[in-house]
Structure 1
Amino acid sequence: MRRLEIILEKDKQERVSALLEGSEVVEKWEVKTIEGYVILNVLLQDEYSTTLLQELEKEAYHRVIIHPVEGTLPKVDLPDTEEKDKISFGKFITISKEELYSDVDEPVSLSVNFLLMIILSSFVAGIGILKDNVAIIIGAMVIAPFLGPNMSMAFGTTLGDWHIIRKSMLTGIVSTLITLAISFFWGMFASGVGDITMDPDLGMQDIVLALVCGFAGVISVLGGQGGSLVGVMVAAALVPPLVRAGLLFGGGYYTDALNSFLIFSTNIICLNIAGIITFYLAGIRPGKWWEKEKAKRKTRNAFLIWSFGLVLIIVAILVIRKLGGEQ
């Protein structure tokens, strides 16, 4: 459930009260304040909070503060309706767009903790790959914060928000460069780089894996469930091939390194394609109609660009395989 604390001017109270009458509100109460402002508190179910927030966003009210509700005493008795047994995609969305802003912003901040986790996960993954130890590689996936930048990129693209897109791109590029730099210099001096288990040639199953990770990542974020387990799935598609690419480049095994880096690049593209599709189908849109049209164009263009990039990589892989077969 959610508690919305709506702070507004007194002359707008009647308009908001009428809006609340048409919403699936469980309870509401009013707290009057000084200086011409009124505070309305509304308790409602998660799936209805998104709809109400969309209506409130259409007009310039003073402030709406969203409070997740862990529980109430006494327990809230929800009314039985015929719609209760119906299943719709929107029922799985238990978090509002406004809360998503906060959720996608924190994981893409280049904080000291974020950078440390990137560095540590790179070292752990490198040790696991050189020792050919799956358990250690899984440990690197657990601590690698690669879910955030990809989900926030897809979220910002769907909304047409250049601030989020730029921030996500910067974080993703910095994360990739740090991981590559660590593994590259490590590969220059490490022994036995040529004996590590190589990434297999990119196949359809790798593309399907990345798409599934993208869909699962967005659904977990939309459901307000956090991204720890799904983050491991995303890291599984990104961390090992990226670290392996750096080690092999440093060790002088350029063909195998290129194959690993192509796998990493393909996974990035597929994650963003899946993220854009899922956010769009979930109804994530800007509040203003003119912003919706702009965001729709940006979403379409971004989807086409990512798709074109995926096609180019697949063509490059086919060409490399053909040249390798002729030799």
Structure 2
Amino acid sequence: MRLLEIIIKKEDKEALEKILDVEEVIEKWISETVDEKLVVKALIRDEHTKELLNDLENKSDCRVVIHPVEGVLPKPESVENKEDKTIGFGKFIAISKEELYSDVDEPVSLSANFILMVVLSSFVAGIGILKDNVAIIIGAMVIAPFLGPNMSMAFGTTLGDLKIIKKSMITGVVSTLIALVISFFWGMLAGDVGNITMDPKPSIEDIILALVCGFAGVISALGGQGGSLVGVMVAAALVPPLVRAGLLLGGAYYTDALNSFVIFATNIICLNIAGIITFYLAGIQPGKWWEKENAKKKTRNAFLIWSLALALIIIAVFLIRKLGGDE
């Protein structure tokens, strides 16, 4: 459930009551403010929050504050009308577009904490790779903030929001360069890094895994289940191949470094493709009709670009396996 605090002008009271006159609105309260406005508090079922906010988005001079609800007493009765038993993709969504805005903004901010987490995860991954310790490598995956920029880029692409896309791209490029520079100089100073365990040659299974992780990550975010993202971060494996590529590049093992970087690039591409598809199917789109058409065009173009990049990766995978004498 969500508690919506809606601030409107007095003359908009009747129109708002029509919007709130649905069975998913459990209860509502109206109070008056000192500046001749009304504050309407409505307790809403999760599945209706997105539709209601879309209706309110087109109203001018309307401010909505969204509060998550842990529980209420007495317990609200279930909706009696069960005629429509069709379960659509949107039924699994427990979080609104407005709440997603807040969730994707923090992970892509180039704050001191974000940069520190990138640096720390790079060192942890490097130690795990050099010691060939899987547990340490998994620890680097968990603390690495690399998943956030890719999810937010897919979110911004679906909305056609250039501000989010630009912010995500800058954060992703900067964090990638930080990890790559650290591991590159580490590889130069570490001596012979040729004995570290190499990434396996990229395969179709790696592409499928990255796509599945992308779908899982976005569905977890849409369902408001941020805690399950830890498992997605581990499965996505963005930091280890990037750090391994830097170590090998610093040690002048260029072919092996390229192999690791291809795996890193594959994960990035697949995460974005899966994110765009999932956000689009979930109905994440701007509220205004002219923005929807623009967003669809940007989403289509971005999807084609990422798909082309994935096709090139698949071709590279087959070439690497063929040139490497795949058994």
Give the structure-1-normalised TM-score: 0.95
Asked if the contact 1:269/1:306 (under 8 Å) is kept, the reply is yes
Structure 1 residue 310 and structure 2 residue 310: aligned? yes
2:143 counterpart of 1:150: no
Match in the other structure for 2:249: 249
Query: Counterpart of 2:296?
Result: 296
SS in 2 for 1:27: strand
| Secondary structure of residue in 1 paired with 2:74 | coil
- The residue type equivalent to 1:233 in the other structure is V
Equivalent-residue separation in structure 2 for 1:15 and 1:46 (angstroms): 22
Query: How far is the alpha carbon of 1:88 from its aligned partner?
Result: 2.5
Q: Name the structure 2 match of 1:95.
A: 95
1:5 aligns to what SS in structure 2? strand
Match of 1:269 in 2: 269
Inter-partner Cα distance in structure 2 for 1:138 and 1:224: 24
Classify the secondary structure of the residue corresponding to 1:252.
coil
Percent identical among aligned pairs is 70
Higher mean alpha-carbon deviation, 83-92 vs 71-80, is at 83-92
Q: CA deviation at 1:324?
A: 4.8
Given that 1:158 and 1:284 are in contact with CA atoms closer than 8 Å, whether structure 2 keeps it comes out as yes
Structure 2: how far apart are the matches of 1:110 and 1:231?
Answer: 22
Q: 1:223 & 1:262 partners in 2: Cα distance?
A: 31
Find the residue that maps to 1:82 and give its secondary structure: coil
| Per-residue Cα deviation, 1:209-244 (whole angstroms, up to 9, x for no partner) | 10011000000000001154244235x421111011
CA root-mean-square deviation:
1.7
| Consecutive unaligned residues in structure 1, runs of 5 or more | none
CA contact (8 A) 1:145 1:231 kept: no
| C-alpha distance in 2 between matches for 1:24 and 1:73 | 17
The answer for the alignment partner of 1:278 in structure 2 is 278
Would the aligned equivalents of 1:129 and 1:196 in 2 still touch at CA under 8 Å?
A: yes
Question: Deviation at 1:311?
Answer: 1.3
Post-superposition CA distance 1:237-265 (Å, at most 9, x none):
21111011000000010000001001111
TM-score (norm 2): 0.95
Aligned to 2:34: 34
The residue type paired with residue 132 of structure 1 is D
Counterpart secondary structure, 1:95: coil
The structure-2 alpha-carbon separation of the partners of 1:90 and 1:83, relative to structure 1 and needing over 3 Å to count, comes to farther
Aligned position for 1:233? 234
Distance 1:83 1:152, change over 3 A: farther
Contact 1:23 1:52 in 2 (8 A): no
- Residue 213 (structure 2) aligns with: 213
2:5 alignment partner in structure 1: 5
Match of 1:68 in 2: 68
Give me the whole-angstrom Cα distance separating, in 2, the residues matched to 1:302 and 1:7: 37
Aligned equivalents of 2:86, 2:317: Cα separation in 1: 46
Report the counterpart of residue 159 of structure 1 in structure 2. Answer: 159
Q: Report the 3-state secondary structure (helix = DSSP H, G, I; strand = E; otherwise coil) of the residue aligned with 1:193.
A: coil
Q: Which runs of 5+ in 2 are unaligned?
A: none
Deviation at 1:321, TM superposition (A): 4.4
Deviation string for 1:16-55 (max 9, x for gaps)? Answer: 1111114521001101112221011100111111111111
Q: Give 1:90-129 correspondences, 5 Å limit.
A: 90-129=90-129
Q: How does 1:178-189 map to 2 (within 5 A)?
A: 178-189=178-189
- Partners of 2:166 and 2:310 in 1: how far apart? 21
Instruction: Check the 8 A contact 2:203/2:317 in 1, yes or no.
Output: no
Query: Which shifted more, 16-25 or 177-186?
Result: 16-25
Question: Which range moved further: 294-303 or 82-91?
Answer: 82-91
User: Is the 1:47–1:93 Cα contact (8 Å) retained in structure 2?
Assistant: yes
**Aligned partner of residue 195 in structure 1, secondary structure:** coil
Report the residue type matching 1:197 in the other structure: T
